[in-house]
């Protein structure tokens, strides 16, 4: 793999990480409600999930979906249901104060945030389609194991850096104070966006 091809693959993956989707939305939500440390743990989980999808793509994920397209359909439906489930909980607990909304599926610990990040990324067929159809096309055949490992590390760091930045921006005290005052509105907006993403994923 040439240096130019490596940089092109990294930039493509970074643009995919930055594009709006469930992971970015969840990073903003967790940053608002739980602070940047939980956002960091969530981002590490999101990055781990991205590496799982990228690794699967390098080992023939697109071929599997071509051979058994119902698996992609199953992934889309499952991911959509997960997002809609999260949206329903956000909407249901929107009017509860932050001190009383422990049942709204937001992480209470760093490990829970990490786990939520992985589940959010793995339940989203967007990275599966991206890595399986677009990403693999930028990786030359015969690339060394070291080049692939470095590429996966860059994918991980890109996802973690971007989603941590999103969580950090939304975790500023001024932003959080505004969130507390408008929690019932903001949670319903987040819930509505998640539900819309779930429906869109299922319809594609």
State residue 50's pLDDT score.
Answer: 93
The mean pLDDT of 85-100, rounded to a whole number, is 66
Cβ(51)–Cβ(152) below 8 Å: yes
**What's the pTM?**
0.74
Residue 164 pLDDT greater than 80, yes or no = yes
Joined together, the tokens standing for residue 30 give 């967790």
State residue 154's pLDDT score.
Answer: 94
Angstrom distance (rounded) from CA 204 to CA 198: 10
Angstrom distance (rounded) from CA 117 to CA 99: 22
Domain that residue 72 falls in: 3-203
Work out the pLDDT band at 101, boundaries 50, 70, 90. Answer: very low
Angstrom distance (rounded) from CA 6 to CA 10: 6
Residue 41 pLDDT greater than 70, yes or no = yes
**Cβ neighbours of residue 50 under 8 Å, at least 6 residues apart?**
13, 17, 121, 127, 131, 155, 156, 159
Cβ(100)–Cβ(27) below 8 Å: no
How many domains is the chain partitioned into structurally?
A: 1
Residue 102 pLDDT greater than 50, yes or no = no
Work out the pLDDT band at 115, boundaries 50, 70, 90. Answer: very high
């Amino acid at each position: 793999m040439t240096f130019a091809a490596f940089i092109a693959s990294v930039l493509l993956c970074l643009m995919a990480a930055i594009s709006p989707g469930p992971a970015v939305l969840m990073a903003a939500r967790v940053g608002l409600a739980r602070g940047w440390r939980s956002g960091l743990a969530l981002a590490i989980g999101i990055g781990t999930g991205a590496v799982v999808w990228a690794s699967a793509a390098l080992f023939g994920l697109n071929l599997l979906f071509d051979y058994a397209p119902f698996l992609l359909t199953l992934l889309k439906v499952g991911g959509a249901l997960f997002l809609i489930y999260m949206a329903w909980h956000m909407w249901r607990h929107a009017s509860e104060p932050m001190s009383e909304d422990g049942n709204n599926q937001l992480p209470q610990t760093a490990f829970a945030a990490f786990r939520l990040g992985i589940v959010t990324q793995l339940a989203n067929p967007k990275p599966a389609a991206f890595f399986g159809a677009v990403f693999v096309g930028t990786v030359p055949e015969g690339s060394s194991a070291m080049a692939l490992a470095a590429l996966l590390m860059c994918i991980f760091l890109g996802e973690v850096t971007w989603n941590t930045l999103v969580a950090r921006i939304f975790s500023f005290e001024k932003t959080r104070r505004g969130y507390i005052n408008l929690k019932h509105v903001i949670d319903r907006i987040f819930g509505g966006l998640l539900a819309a993403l779930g429906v869109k994923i299922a319809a594609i």
